[in-house]
Structure formats: C-alpha cells, structure tokens
Chains A and B, each alone.
Chain A
Amino acid sequence: MDPAGVKFILNPYDEFAVEEALRLRDKFKGEVTAISVGADNAKEAIRQALAMGADKGILVKGDKSDSFQVADMLAAAIKPLSPDLILLGKQSIDFDGMEIASMLSELLDLPAATVAVALNIEGNKATVEKEVEGGRETIQLDMPCIVAAQKGLNEPRYPSLPNIMKAKQKPIQEVSGAPGAKRTEIVEMTKPEKKRANKIVKIDGNASQAAHELARMLHEEAKII
C-alpha cells in the first residue's frame, strides 16, 4: 500500500481508549500520555489525542510491520513511565491483529483485558466487561493493568477549537525504537479471491415467483437448504 496522499488518522478504536483515559484522569486526577509507534506521520494521530485532551505525547520511531516489534517498542517506552493504566484500542484498522494488548501484558508482566465494553476502577482493582461470542465476560484485574477498548466503551469527544490550539503547544517526545528481531515477514498483500456468482433476479411485481426462484437457487445450485 502506497502511503503517499493517505491521511493518517487516530485509529478509531484508540479514540475510545483516549476518551476513557481522559474521563479517568478527570475523575481520579492524573496525567494522560498518548504514545504511538511509527514514522513521522504517526505524529498526526498523537496530535489528535492531544487535541482531545491528552497532556503529552511520545512517538516511538520504528517499523510497524511486525506486531512483536511494535509491542516490544511500546513496552520499552512505557516501562519507565510506570503508568497505573494502559489503554489502547482492541485492534488497529489496518492490520486488524487484536494482539498488541495481549503481547504488552506478557512483555510488561501486567494483567490485561481485551475487547472492553465497560471499565470500572475501584481502589487498585479494575473490572472489565469483555464482549465475547454469545455474551459478556466479567474480568477482574489487579492494577496497574492494560485494557483494550471496544466500541461502546464510551462516546469519544470531539476536540474543541481551544483544545486543538492548545495541542499545538503540547510536547511530543521522540524516541527511537530498538526492538528485538522481527518474527514474521510479509510475503504479499492481495485482494481476496472469492468469486461470487452474482445471480441477481428482479422481483418486478411478482414476489412469489421471485421468492420461489431464490429458494430454488439456494436448494439446487448452492445446495444449502
């Protein structure tokens, strides 16, 4: 994929994470640092987080193509900060891996819960509602911990104009990532092959005939029913 001309955005799932961080900061008093791994164009996403209200930013410069390396670079940058809570989106919408929070948990030796649709913090315990097939799993974690946000965790705020202006003055520290060796290599990216039959029938006033034809195709051709 050629990145020239593509606007890099704050990953939508990370917006829920930023929003949750801001609400918790306002509730418990504290500081929100927005951190990202990538090239210079990742600064745009960090600025958006700062515009939402995050206090400072960190850009870890490095190659994002290997998930282990991303997690490794994040872990190294996060460790010295000793945060009480690490929030991120459940997955990035480019590679859809859903793996970073879980890897960070192992690398930082901290508990983590993923696909969180609800988060409650009391004392030094966090309770997360995780969305699973068929329902919800309630997970309790000791803090410090990591939580990966799913849609529904909250309603992210739109940055106000004053906050957008303030964001320009907030610092973004740049560090160079030094991850361990890559563990995967991309062979190729292709468009999915699945060829569809595209047998489209117009109803054209004769609903019972159209219904019959569709049922016939599902029975005789697709052999599904």
Chain B
Amino acid sequence: MNILVYLEERNGRIRKPSLEAISAAHALGGTVHAAVIGAEANALVEQAKTLNVQTVFAASDARLAKYSSRATARALAEIAKQANAEVVLVGATGRGKDLAPRAAIRLEAGYVPDVTAFTNSNGDIVATHPVYAGKAQMSVRVTTPVKVFSTRPNLWKPSKDAAASTPAVQNVSVSFQDTDFSEHTTALTLSQGKLDVAEADIIVSGGRGMRGPEHWTLIENLAEAFGAATGASRAVVDAGWRPHAEQVGQTGKTVSPTLYVAIGISGAVQHLAGMSSSKTIVAINKDENAPIFSIADYGLVGDAFEVLPALTEEIKKLRSH
C-alpha cells in the first residue's frame, strides 16, 4: 500500500505535524512517500530527503510563492495519482484541515478529519476521530479506493529518522489554471516570541479562579518554570483578561500537549473539548467537586494563590538538574 504524506512548510522548515504524519503513516503500514509543493521546492526537497520516506514527489510553480490552497490541492491530488497512493495523510493544521478535504474531492476519495487513531486489519482501515466536542469518538471506514485523512497534531511522535537509503526524488508536472490562484495568502503574521498554545508540549492554563488579570504573573512564572505556553479559559478571554489566541476550548484552540496544567478552571464541557486528549492533565482548584478533577491525572484541591509560588520553585529545581 502506498501512503503519501503532505509536508507543510512554514518559514522554510517542514512543520512538526507533517513529521508526525510520517510516523502515523509507518504505523498504518505501507510504503511511505512525501509530497513537497511550493515555489522553489528544492530547499524543502533537501529536507524531505533526510526523512524516512521512499520517494519525495515535488511539484513547483513560481506562483506558489504565495500559498494557495486550491493550487496546492491540485498538485497534491496529481502527486497522489502519480504515486499510486491508496492513502493520503495531511497534518491537521489550519492549512491541512482545508487542504485535505480539497484533495479528497479531487481524488473522489472519502475523508476523515482530525484522526486520533488508526486500525488496519489486512487493509481494512478504520480511523477514529473526536466528535461532539470530544465527548465521543467516531470510528469511520472510508469506502472509496483512495482514502484521505488529516492527523491530529501532537499525538504521534515526529519522525526524525532517516530512511534506510536516500529517497528518490520525482518531479511532478502539474497543469495549474489561473483560477487555482484566485485565492492566495498575502501575509502570515505570527506572534513573535511567545510559544503558541497549539504547538506547545506543556501548557499552563488559567481560569476565573485566578480572580483577575493582575494575578497572571503567577501563571506566567509557572509556565516559564515548565518552559510552557500559557493558555486561558473562555471566561477569562471573554472578560478581556487574556487574548483570544490563548483560549483553549471548543471556541478556541484544541490542544493535545504532553502536559496540561489547569489552574482555577472548573472544567466546563466546552473547555474539556479543547484539551481532553492531553497526555497528562493536572488540575488546581479550590472546589473539590469541580468537573476538571474527573479528567485530571493529578490534582491539588485548595487555593492556587497559596501553592503556585511553591510549585514554581519545585519545578525550577527539578528542571535545573
């Protein structure tokens, strides 16, 4: 079975969710190939050649200097045909979740979004993804010959090994149409410095229990001790204490970090939807009946204000070893 993995680029580097998709591809079982699509695919092709794939398929066009989802989708579908791919995997990033269903339509393929697990029984592939804001999960079988999936970031390990032998490079010629570029990116504005909640391995998140924005240094200090990003519940974002970019939850970001620390957050269903697939969850809350404790691996019941400074010191000590 040929599996094609799309490699998404940002600032000249292949993004982690694409490396995770390569791991997912190997776990699924089959021959794994990579697709690189861009204006000058060469730099990315060189990076792709260091990955554990058999062939790097590359499509390039000067007009792709500005990202265009329609053009990229056309190229990805064309590459999938050339690679004779039965499965196409795309990391479920903002771009990926738009690109994957487009490729699916072009390939007349069934699509499952935001996959958290696969099973493969002699070629019968079933993909699981969260539904109802994470309260349930749905297992889906794609019934078309070609199958497209987007894989949820931060679940599979990013694949960093090289292949047994250097991948071959195959250039694919794509007949782009002018209308493919009728929608294109003109700017990508990234917040400088701050680690984004969606990419962080550890998140320290605060809710109404923090009583006011003036107390957020407690959260920030603990985050710094952990080397973590800071997150927030919807309540404090709506109250204007924290920016929407930090919001974790159904109407904010969905995250699956290695560690999620929820401080002064009660654990409303909509918040849980955004973080329940975190590998380890810690909750600190005054209320022992707060719903957050039901999904916590570790928790402290009591006043966050009392314990945060002490906890920050403990974490600093541990991490300085």
Contacts and interface: CB of A to CB of B under 8 A. Distances in A.
Given A95-B138, A132-B95, A102 B69 contact: yes
A189 B188 contact: no
Contacts of A97: 113-114
A103 B295 contact: no
A111 B70 contact: yes
A190 B139 contact: yes
Interface in B136-189: 136-144, 179, 182-189
A99 interface: yes
Interface string A91-106: 0011111110111011
A211 B97 contact: no
Given A184-B140, A211-B311, A218-B259, A136 B302 contact: no
A96 B273 CA distance: 11
Contacts of B202: 224
B310 A211 contact: yes
B102 A191 contact: no
- Interface bracket on B: 35 or more
Interface string A170-183: 00000000000011
Contacts of A188: 138-139
Given A185-B141, A192-B134, A224-B259, A210 B110 contact: no
A20 B82 CA distance: 42
Contacts of B100: 99, 102
B214 interface: no
Contact of B132 (A94, A131, A198, A203): A94
B105 A189 contact: no
Q: Is the interface of A mostly helix, strand, loop or mixed?
A: mixed
A20 B293 CA distance: 39
A217 B245 CA distance: 30
A68 B105 contact: yes
B94 A140 contact: no
Interface stretch (B30-38, B39-47, B53-61, B277-285): B277-285
A41 interface: no
A140 B137 contact: no
23 contacts: A71-B105, A96-B133, A97-B114, A102-B100, A103-B105, A111-B182, A112-B69, A113-B183, A135-B189, A142-B182, A183-B108, A183-B109, A185-B143, A186-B138, A196-B294, A196-B296, A198-B299, A200-B288, A200-B299, A211-B307, A218-B282, A222-B297, A225-B318
Shortest 5 CB-CB distances between A and B: which pairs?
A203-B302, A183-B110, A111-B183, A211-B310, A215-B314
Interface of B: 67, 69-70, 73, 93-95, 97-102, 104-106, 108-114, 126, 129-144, 179, 182-191, 196, 198-199, 202, 226, 244-245, 250-252, 258-259, 276-277, 280-282, 288, 293-303, 306-307, 309-311, 313-315, 317-319
Given A139-B184, A187-B141, 20 more contacts: A66-B110, A95-B138, A96-B131, A112-B98, A127-B186, A134-B190, A134-B199, A137-B67, A137-B188, A142-B183, A145-B183, A184-B140, A187-B126, A189-B138, A192-B134, A200-B300, A201-B299, A212-B310, A218-B298, A222-B259
